[in-house]
Amino acid sequence: MAHIEHTPTAHSHTKAILFDLDGTLLDTAPDLVTAVNALRGEYHLPPLSFETALSMVGKGAHNLIQRALTHEQALRFDADVAYAHFAAHYHRINGDATREYKGVSEVLHALHAQGYRLGIVTNKPTEFTLPLIQQFGWSNLFSSVVCGDTLSVRKPRPEPLFHALAEMNSTVKSALMVGDAMNDALAAEAAECACVILDYGYNEGQPVREALKQWPHVPVHSDFASALRPCLS
């Protein structure tokens, strides 16, 4: 992975910034957990605790559904039918209890005003991602939005990052990936892209600082604005 020093000069070459969505820009957990438990109800399963359901978030909707329906036992189910049930529940509430993390809109608008090219690279399906971007008034800020169903592969593979950067007419050498989970760090490493991680997100229920102890070259922040401060003049 590209070496990143925690200094303002480390981002002097940055022209493009890629952001994860869930757990990075938006706290979508309340709506996701509600939809997961509604799905479990369809299969006569009891609701999961908030923490247990949240630990399943991070590798896309299909993985979330698989984990949610097989938590206690190897339940057999049709993946397409289960997704349709989940999608119906999530569509009804998507955005209702979702909130942006502190300082996110202010920083995004400031970065855009300074000429940075901004993109989103998320494992969330397009049908749930675009309404959230619109709801929070960010549609005009992002030059690329790559979702979990945009390509045949998702993070931690590097291809979604490459795809976004191509749409942004940017290169990996001038890019920075901002996320909250090992998926983001692994994708950035595979792409040889600089990376900053935020510790307030999900990371499949595991403390991301602990997970990154062997990666001292990856800065970890607890505040969105402080993570992006080196990019702001």
- Give catalytic residues, as residue numbers: 20
- Can you say whether the dihedral through the CA atoms of 121, 201, 182, 45 is positive or negative? negative
Q: What is residue 156's DSSP assignment?
A: T
**Distance between CA atoms of 2 and 195, rounded to whole angstroms?**
8
**Distance between CA atoms of 98 and 24, rounded to whole angstroms?**
12
Per-residue b/e over 107-117, b at no fewer than 16 CB within 10 Å?
Answer: bbebbbeeebb
3-class state of residue 142 by DSSP: strand
**Distance between CA atoms of 27 and 106, rounded to whole angstroms?**
16
Segment holding 224, helix H or strand E: helix 224-228
**Distance between CA atoms of 154 and 56, rounded to whole angstroms?**
16
Identify whether the C-beta of residue 56 lies closer than 8 Å to the C-beta of residue 64: yes
3-class state of residue 195 by DSSP: strand
Strand partners, 100: 26
